[in-house]
């Protein structure tokens, strides 16, 4: 056997060993204890607070994020998830009585929230700490054992995250498997009780296909071309600032970033001017020198995005530098037919802007694209805003803002159709990793003879309760 073959077998055996250890630990019933879960959540919170500086430094090494952005969009969101879980865990885990039909008297019904068991979390590179740790919080609160597979493309963050987890948990409870796609393949072949995947639609299909072989339920947090609509009556300075912030946060590498803007023709030129002002105020005349502007994660993604820069006329930006993986905040007009900018999720700091004249154009464009993860609409007309929200199928929406729907742990977050399935955050995340067990309890000493044969004329009693 080759050296590569030996390493593959060793990795497979190691992963299987963690899986079997977790199966035994879960069977012991230790994770059913709510105080046990609370202690582990508190330990994770303390570890994040102690290591926050190092976590932010690792994220900066991987993606060029500022400490502020790392705290706001990574560690801060995880700490908010932990705080919410600690506040409500007693309520979430409490059995809930349900009504029982009169013809089932004296039976009582109750729903018991119980952990699903062994959970796999596969996280991406764009928010390498938050998108690994937030599902962990939900799965941990729900009483599961978890194996986490962080992205190898954010190697510095993956390493520090793995160390943090190992400092808080025994591997038979929470384990981390680092590695490339081969490690993911080994994990996906195992019969987990739930798989939580965040990433591209292409890989999401692979995950779902693998899970189907073991009848494992999945939560898929994917992406898509999230449109942003700027109506003629919008507050243009506010809209431009909020769109620029949501788009160029993390250098555009966000699944819920505005993918493109459709702006009413009557205000398109004014909107572009406001975008230029916003970007100048954010990052200065040369964003490559700004400590607050990120970088593309690797050369492969850089080259993909650099190619797209030539598919339209740059109104703002358009510059790039492979040596530092820098792509300027770019706004494009006149995108050529057949460009990937029209059909693929951009996932980078390139913002195409298209004009529209009436709602029929907007509706036609929407129907040609898969259902997006998010929709953003800017208007002063609340009736029109509600029409967008009601009529456009999507995972979630914002009115007069962008991406903030993700930051609220009380709002369920998830996709629809090609943008994903299932939800996370807060109570929705707890529910994702929970089986709600239905229990009917009937006293042993009391019985209704009407339900037993011979039935004779008992049918009249049955019909009373219809």
Q: Which residues are catalytic?
A: 221, 255
**Pairing of the two strands 145-149 and 118-122:** parallel
Residue 87: exposure state from Cβ atoms within 10 A (0-12, 13-18, ≥19) = exposed
Contact, 351 vs 247, CB < 8 A?
Answer: yes
Contact, 258 vs 376, CB < 8 A?
Answer: yes
Give the separation between CA 14 and CA 22, rounded to whole angstroms: 13
| Phi and psi angles of residue 3, each rounded to the nearest 5 degrees, phi first | -60, -40
What is the C-alpha end-to-end distance of the chain, expressed in Å? 70
CB atoms within 10 A of CB 337: 6
Map tokens 């299909």 to a residue: 205
Give the separation between CA 400 and CA 372, rounded to whole angstroms: 18
Identify the helix (H) or strand (E) that includes residue 36. Answer: helix 34-63
| Phi and psi angles of residue 340, each rounded to the nearest 5 degrees, phi first | -60, -20
Grouping H, G, I as helix, E, B as strand and the rest as coil, residue 331 is: strand
CB atoms within 10 A of CB 54: 13
Give the separation between CA 296 and CA 288, rounded to whole angstroms: 12
Give the separation between CA 126 and CA 78, rounded to whole angstroms: 15
Identify the helix (H) or strand (E) that includes residue 247. Answer: helix 236-248
Which residues partner with 263 through β-bridges?
A: 230, 355
Sequence-separated (6 or more) residues with CB below 8 Å from residue 29: none
Contact, 192 vs 331, CB < 8 A?
Answer: no
Grouping H, G, I as helix, E, B as strand and the rest as coil, residue 114 is: strand
CB atoms within 10 A of CB 52: 18
């Amino acid at each position: 056997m080759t050296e590569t073959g030996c390493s593959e077998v060793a990795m497979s055996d190691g992963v299987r060993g963690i899986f079997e250890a977790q199966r035994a630990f879960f069977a012991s019933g230790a994770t059913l204890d709510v105080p046990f879960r609370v202690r582990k959540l508190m330990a994770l919170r303390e570890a994040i607070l102690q290591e926050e500086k190092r976590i932010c430094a690792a994220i900066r090494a991987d993606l060029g994020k500022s400490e502020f952005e790392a705290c706001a969009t990574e560690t801060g969101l995880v700490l908010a998830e932990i705080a919410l879980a600690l506040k409500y865990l007693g309520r979430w885990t409490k059995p809930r009585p349900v009504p029982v039909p009169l013809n089932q008297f004296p039976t009582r019904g109750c729903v018991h929230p119980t952990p699903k068991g062994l959970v796999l979390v596969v996280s991406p590179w764009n928010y390498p700490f938050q998108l690994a740790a937030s599902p962990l919080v939900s799965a941990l609160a729900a009483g599961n054992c978890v194996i986490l597979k962080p992205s190898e493309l954010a190697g510095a963050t993956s390493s520090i995250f793995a160390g943090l987890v190992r400092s808080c948990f025994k591997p038979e409870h929470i384990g981390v498997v680092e590695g490339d796609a081969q490690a993911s393949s080994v994990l996906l072949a195992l019969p987990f009780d739930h798989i939580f995947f965040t990433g591209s639609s292409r890989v999401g299909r692979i995950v779902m296909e693998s899970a189907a072989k073991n009848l494992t339920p999945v939560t898929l947090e994917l992406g898509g071309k999230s449109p942003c609509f700027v109506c003629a009556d919008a507050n243009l300075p506010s809209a431009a600032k909020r769109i620029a912030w949501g788009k160029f946060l993390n250098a555009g590498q966000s699944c819920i970033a505005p993918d493109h803007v459709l702006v009413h023709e009557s205000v398109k030129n004014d909107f572009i001017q406001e975008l230029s002002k916003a970007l100048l105020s954010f990052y200065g005349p040369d964003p490559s020198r700004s400590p607050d502007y990120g970088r593309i994660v690797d050369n492969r993604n850089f080259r993909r995005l650099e190619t797209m820069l030539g598919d339209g006329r740059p109104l703002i930006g358009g510059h790039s530098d492979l040596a530092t993986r820098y792509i300027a905040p770019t706004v494009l007009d006149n995108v050529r037919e057949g460009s990937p900018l029209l059909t693929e999720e951009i996932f980078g700091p390139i913002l195409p802007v298209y004009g529209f004249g009436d709602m029929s154009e907007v509706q036609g464009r929407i129907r040609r694209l898969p259902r997006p993860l998010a929709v953003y609409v800017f208007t002063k007309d609340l009736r029109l805003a509600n029409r967008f929200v009601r009529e456009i199928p999507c995972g979630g929406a914002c009115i007069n803002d962008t991406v903030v729907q993700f930051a609220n742990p009380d709002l369920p977050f998830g996709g629809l159709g090609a943008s994903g399935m299932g939800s996370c955050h807060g109570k929705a995340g707890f529910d994702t990793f929970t089986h709600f067990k239905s229990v009917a309890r009937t006293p042993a000493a009391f019985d209704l003879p009407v339900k037993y044969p011979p039935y004779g004329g008992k049918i009249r009693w049955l019909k009373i309760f219809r």
